[in-house]
Amino acid sequence: MRRPQRVWRERLKIGRLIAIELVIVVVLVLVGVGGYYLWSQSQNYVSSSDAQLSANLVTVVATAPGKIEGTLPQIGTKVKAGQQLFTEALQGSGSAGSAAGAGASKTTTTVVVNTAPVAATAYGKVAQVSVVDGQVVAPGTPLATLVATTGNTVVANIPESEIRSVKVGQFVDVTIDAYPGDTFPGHVAAIVPATQSALSILPSTQSSGTYTKVTQRIPVVIQFENPNGVRLYTGLSVEVRVHISGS
């Protein structure tokens, strides 16, 4: 009886060793495949998730002192350059005498002189209306904000360690968080000749002795196609993958 038990134990030990070896082989294969994938990605693509849909925001302003009258544009309305958005009742100063004769005193009063249209200065959609009917405005007062429709644009911030591989004209895969699973074909349209921090309104500064090196990022402008005509909104989160192989 001992011999069969010994044989069974030896077989069990051999089986365990084989299982362990198989697990090691599988792990090594997975590590190798993963390593090759990462290496291939780094050699063929530059990727960034620090990207957003971008568009030019155009502010429509009052050109003279007056009062807004009539129907206001609705948010989301498509407009053309030159299309009337507001009607402004212009105001001027008039004077009226309070008594007859050479010693008559004069009282200055505000009178409506004329009306003038305020038109859109670009093709786009109304994103914000900043006034209400009857509001008195001065020259330069913002009346509305338009999102200009000048193409589908992404601004992606590429780390300085990878920007040397990015060139104008390279193909780009664009994915938008709002539409998972969809890929939009595009290309690099321009590389901004300054870092993101240098373009900031308030550039970051550090006191002497407390300097911490931070990876700088360079904005890259990407134009892409929208073949299915999905709705796009300025500021949506985007991921990009720039094809750098062969460049």
Please give the DSSP secondary-structure letter assigned to residue 70: S
Shared domain check, 86 and 49? no
Range of the domain at 213: 44-55+151-243
Shared domain check, 112 and 64? yes
Q: The pTM is what?
A: 0.67
Shared domain check, 166 and 128? no
Q: DSSP characters for 173-238?
A: EEEETTSTT--EEEEEEEE-SS-TTTTSSS-----TT-------EEEEEEEE--TT-----TT-EE
User: What's the token pair of residue 179?
Assistant: 């539409």
Shared domain check, 136 and 64? yes
What is the pLDDT, as a whole number, of residue 2? 55
Shared domain check, 112 and 181? no
**Residue written as token pair 């407009």:** 79
Shared domain check, 73 and 124? yes
**Residue written as token pair 């780390």:** 159
Shared domain check, 48 and 157? yes
In degrees and rounded to multiples of 5, residue 246 shows phi and psi of 80, 5
Q: Residue 194 sits in a domain of what CATH number?
A: 2.40.30.170
User: What's the token pair of residue 62?
Assistant: 């009052």
The tens place of each residue's pLDDT in the chain, 247 residues long, gives 556 667 667 777 777 777 787 778 777 777 766 665 555 555 689 999 999 999 888 999 998 999 999 899 999 999 999 999 999 998 764 444 444 445 555 555 555 568 899 999 999 999 999 999 999 999 999 999 999 887 889 999 999 999 999 999 999 999 999 999 899 999 999 999 999 888 876 666 655 667 778 889 999 999 999 888 898 899 999 999 999 976 5
- The answer as to whether 114 is a domain residue is yes
Shared domain check, 221 and 187? yes
- The answer as to whether 4 is a domain residue is no
Structural domain tally of the chain?
Answer: 2
User: What's the token pair of residue 205?
Assistant: 């500064």
How would you write 45-61 as a 3-class SS string? EEEEEEEEEECCEEEEE
What is the pLDDT, as a whole number, of residue 172? 97
- The answer as to whether 2 is a domain residue is no
Q: One-letter amino acid identity for 240?
A: V
